[in-house]
Structure 1
Amino acid sequence: MPRVLVLLVRLALAVGSGLLLAASFEPVGLPWLLPFAVAGFFLSVRGARSRVGFVVGLAFGISFYFTHIVWMRSSVGADAWVGLAGVEALFYAALGAILPPLSRLPLWPLWVAAAWSTMEFVRSAWPFSGMPWGRLAYAVIDTPVAPSMAYVGATGVSFGLALLGALLTWLLVARRGRHLLGVAGIVAVLAAIAVADVRPWRAGETGHLQVAAVQGNVPGPGNDVLYDHRQVTRNHAEATMKLAGDVRAGTAKAPDFVLWPENSTAVDPFEDGADNAAIVSAVQSAGVPVVVGGMVNGDATHVYNQGIVWDPATGPGQRYTKHHPVPFGEYIPFRDILNGWNFGRLAIIGRDMVAGTSKDPITVAGTKVADAICFDVAYDDVLDDQVARGARLVTVQTSNATFIFTHQIEQQFAITRLRAIETGRYVVVASTNGLSGVIAPDGHVVAKAQPRTTTVLDEQVGLLDALTPAVRMGAWPGRALSVVTIVGLVLAALTRRRRRSVGPAPQHDVPDAPDAPDAPDQEMSLT
């Protein structure tokens, strides 16, 4: 087959597989496509040289990631969409470059699945703070795979799904009579999933709280909290005071604390008199702590995105600061170097948001609470660190108004539900205008507000102390799989060097290994 035609076939398979993977997530939401999409990608680079694998991997990454986060095009801007999706596609290109040598090792499905998980682990933390969106694990809510999150976390679930895809590839390419090991591997993965589904992680509740999540709504077009930011704050204050009135009238249960969303005040609530007065009135009326989402001034060039525990007796106290501000969305990397290029995002973002560093939970109504702000919920470190340090409940403060007319809000809510399973905690979500909700430790939705409405979710939630295996392991699965991938690449390089020094073996000496793919012929390479 001509080399150009082979390359075109590879590219077509990669693009189709990338689109299948995108369809596994919201808004299409067909997670059963996941292993087939991964298998298609592995097959598209099988037998290729690394430079061909890079090109094919880039095609896969472009078709998947540009589709997966297409919501950025209409909500943030085409420039941000192209820039972010382009950077993330390069990770799949790098993966495509290292898969061919790894696929020549014995038991290659294990090596390539580890490489996939390592790629996700790295791109979730780098460059800057990384971008976890699109991890395989984030598509499995409402499937039998979801309970596995409590045992092995997002990294472990992604590894299992990638391994399943690799084993499916093995069945397609294995020599005659050599499929038994691949079938056994698939059965083992499915059995592990079934065990977690039949025996999900459970722990007894050690207490209860009544928590009210306020979704105050956003005036005007609904996708811009700055359109009338003072009305946004008034909406949340008025909804809280109405709840207080209902409690006094006996038509609502008294909350132990109230949760407001990110950007419930878009100006510094300590310096702005109007917003401060609205918050104080709401807190005094409620008579319980209110966790306010506010933008707090640092200096002339820096700002903090914080969840502030506002007590009716002692005023503002403990704070959680957002750990993962969005580069080119909430701060400008290398601003000193780019200074003077006053256009686009550089002109819009006048001050850089400072990342928080504390790993300790905040204390609200006498209870340790793990807080996360917006995209923080997609990162492994934020909630796991706080839960490991004693948090008995999880709260998520998010604005999401920018994305309210897109499917980003469904993707984020799915990730949040998976975090409830992974941490083994109730999760209370407050959004400015959607999606707000209360989620149980098994991921099911206890209550949810309709987008673009003013709603108060006043629900009793359980408190838990036990730690899931996933929280106990923390980042170690990702680190371990990264080491496995590095070892695999070293072994592949040594094996290639040995073959070159020894020369081709006689035909009768070549082992008929079931786990070694056929050597590529010349027309399978791009020179």
Structure 2
Amino acid sequence: VAVELLRGLPLGGFCWQFVGHSLYGQRILIQVADFSGVYGVSFVAVTVNALLARLIHLTLTRKLRRRRTFFHAALGTIYTALLVLAAVAYGRYRLEETRPVAGPRISVVQGNIPLEIKECAKTFTWRQVLERRHHVFDKHRRLTLGLLDVTDDMVVWPETTVSYLEGEKYGREDYSAHARKRVREVRRKIGRPFLLGSVKLVRGIGEDAEYNAAYYFPTADGPFEVYLKIHLVPFGEYVPFRSVGWIKA
């Protein structure tokens, strides 16, 4: 568990494939994550498996017959049993406390865009970049317009579906304004709250900054809200030490 904690620190963290993730299907046991995170779930799993491994080792080596060793093994068994019982009791309490109620109906639009279509290399021309962006937008727009007869409360588009709703300008053409106009047209057609993923470009005095952003439009023409992701995934969303000259990205 300590190693998992350390893995979450360098370069933004590598918080995947933890021991606790293997218990995702055990709803009662994983409720402790609401105050301990996945680390608490990992601690329970590691404690149980460490006890089993220890008991098997002591049995095979016949050390369990020693009074002192047996006493320590008994203490470990009691401690582990109490830990699991506490986790189960808390899990049952949380699940019974939170009764599911009818919530909003959400239409999730997933265009299943190939990665090579979404990626725009620096060697691409501006026309090639536009073609790829329009392809992604048009596919999600077409799928969304097919939901006009569906009774729902909100429409959601995936991460980075629309590039640069704010901040991007190429020469005389303001792409961001054009993208906002197209999004506004979709908002007016669906007539319900709209959430989509985008990339926001913030111009700086030195180097420009790009953010993985979520835009929420509660109405067709009114103001919108923006959330910028602050914990980026290494390599997938940013390249560590990219400023070093010989590192290519």
Q: TM-score range by the shorter chain?
A: 0.7 to 0.9
Name 2:2's counterpart in structure 1.
118
The alpha-carbon deviation at position 205 of structure 1 amounts to 6.0
Name 1:155's counterpart in structure 2.
39
How far apart, CA to CA, are the structure 2 residues paired with 1:326 and 1:183?
Answer: 39
How far apart, CA to CA, are the structure 1 residues paired with 2:54 and 2:93?
Answer: 30
How far apart, CA to CA, are the structure 1 residues paired with 2:215 and 2:100?
Answer: 26
Name 1:141's counterpart in structure 2.
24
How far apart, CA to CA, are the structure 1 residues paired with 2:237 and 2:208?
Answer: 12
Structure 1 pair 163–180 and aligned structure 2 pair: CA distance change class (3 A): same
Query: In structure 1, what residue type is equivalent to 2:81?
Result: V
Indicate the SS of the match to 2:33.
helix
Residue 211 (structure 1) aligned with residue 106 (structure 2): yes
State which of 115, 122, 144 in structure 2 corresponds to 1:223.
Answer: 115
Identity of aligned residues (%): 24
- 8 Å contact from structure 2 (residues 160, 213) kept in 1: no
How far apart, CA to CA, are the structure 2 residues paired with 1:331 and 1:151?
Answer: 29
Structure 1 pair 274–242 and aligned structure 2 pair: CA distance change class (3 A): farther
How far apart, CA to CA, are the structure 2 residues paired with 1:323 and 1:261?
Answer: 18
How far apart, CA to CA, are the structure 2 residues paired with 1:269 and 1:189?
Answer: 49
List alignment gaps of at least 5 residues for structure 1.
Answer: 1-116, 247-251, 346-527
Task: List aligned pairs for 1:124-135, cutoff 5 A.
Answer: 124=8, 126-135=9-18
- 8 Å contact from structure 1 (residues 213, 260) kept in 2: yes
Task: List aligned pairs for 1:457-496, cutoff 5 A.
Answer: none
Name 1:260's counterpart in structure 2.
157
Residue 187 (structure 1) aligned with residue 95 (structure 2): no
Indicate the SS of the match to 1:319.
strand
Task: List aligned pairs for 1:424-443, cutoff 5 A.
Answer: none
How far apart, CA to CA, are the structure 2 residues paired with 1:331 and 1:197?
Answer: 36
The alpha-carbon deviation at position 169 of structure 1 amounts to 3.5
- 8 Å contact from structure 2 (residues 14, 234) kept in 1: no
How far apart, CA to CA, are the structure 1 residues paired with 2:220 and 2:189?
Answer: 9
- 8 Å contact from structure 1 (residues 307, 321) kept in 2: yes
Name 2:124's counterpart in structure 1.
none
How far apart, CA to CA, are the structure 1 residues paired with 2:230 and 2:105?
Answer: 27
The alpha-carbon deviation at position 262 of structure 1 amounts to 0.6
Query: In structure 1, what residue type is equivalent to 2:111?
Result: G
How far apart, CA to CA, are the structure 1 residues paired with 2:74 and 2:234?
Answer: 48
- 8 Å contact from structure 1 (residues 269, 276) kept in 2: yes
Indicate the SS of the match to 1:182.
helix
Indicate the SS of the match to 1:132.
coil
How far apart, CA to CA, are the structure 2 residues paired with 1:226 and 1:152?
Answer: 37
State which of 140, 144, 147 in structure 2 corresponds to 1:236.
Answer: 140
- 8 Å contact from structure 1 (residues 238, 282) kept in 2: no
Indicate the SS of the match to 1:128.
helix
Superimposed CA distance per residue, residues 387-419 of structure 1 (whole angstroms, 9 cap, x where no aligned partner): xxxxxxxxxxxxxxxxxxxxxxxxxxxxxxxxx
Indicate the SS of the match to 2:115.
coil
Superimposed CA distance per residue, residues 427-449 of structure 1 (whole angstroms, 9 cap, x where no aligned partner): xxxxxxxxxxxxxxxxxxxxxxx
List alignment gaps of at least 5 residues for structure 2.
Answer: 121-131, 167-173
Name 2:209's counterpart in structure 1.
302
Query: In structure 1, what residue type is equivalent to 2:165?
Result: P
The alpha-carbon deviation at position 137 of structure 1 amounts to 1.2
Superimposed CA distance per residue, residues 148-193 of structure 1 (whole angstroms, 9 cap, x where no aligned partner): 4346532211111121122223322454241322332343334334
The alpha-carbon deviation at position 120 of structure 1 amounts to 1.5
How far apart, CA to CA, are the structure 2 residues paired with 1:145 and 1:204?
Answer: 17
How far apart, CA to CA, are the structure 1 residues paired with 2:186 and 2:232?
Answer: 28
- 8 Å contact from structure 1 (residues 216, 236) kept in 2: yes
- 8 Å contact from structure 2 (residues 31, 91) kept in 1: yes
The alpha-carbon deviation at position 297 of structure 1 amounts to 1.4
The alpha-carbon deviation at position 319 of structure 1 amounts to 0.7
How far apart, CA to CA, are the structure 2 residues paired with 1:277 and 1:134?
Answer: 41
Calculate the aligned-residue CA RMSD, in Å. 2.7
Superimposed CA distance per residue, residues 241-264 of structure 1 (whole angstroms, 9 cap, x where no aligned partner): 2212x1xxxxx21x3222111111
- 8 Å contact from structure 1 (residues 216, 235) kept in 2: yes
Query: In structure 1, what residue type is equivalent to 2:237?
Result: E
How far apart, CA to CA, are the structure 2 residues paired with 1:327 and 1:197?
Answer: 33
Indicate the SS of the match to 1:138.
helix
Structure 1 pair 304–189 and aligned structure 2 pair: CA distance change class (3 A): same
Query: In structure 2, what residue type is equivalent to 1:215?
Result: Q
Structure 1 pair 303–152 and aligned structure 2 pair: CA distance change class (3 A): closer
The alpha-carbon deviation at position 127 of structure 1 amounts to 0.9
The alpha-carbon deviation at position 196 of structure 1 amounts to 4.5
Query: In structure 1, what residue type is equivalent to 2:52?
Result: L
- 8 Å contact from structure 1 (residues 230, 275) kept in 2: no
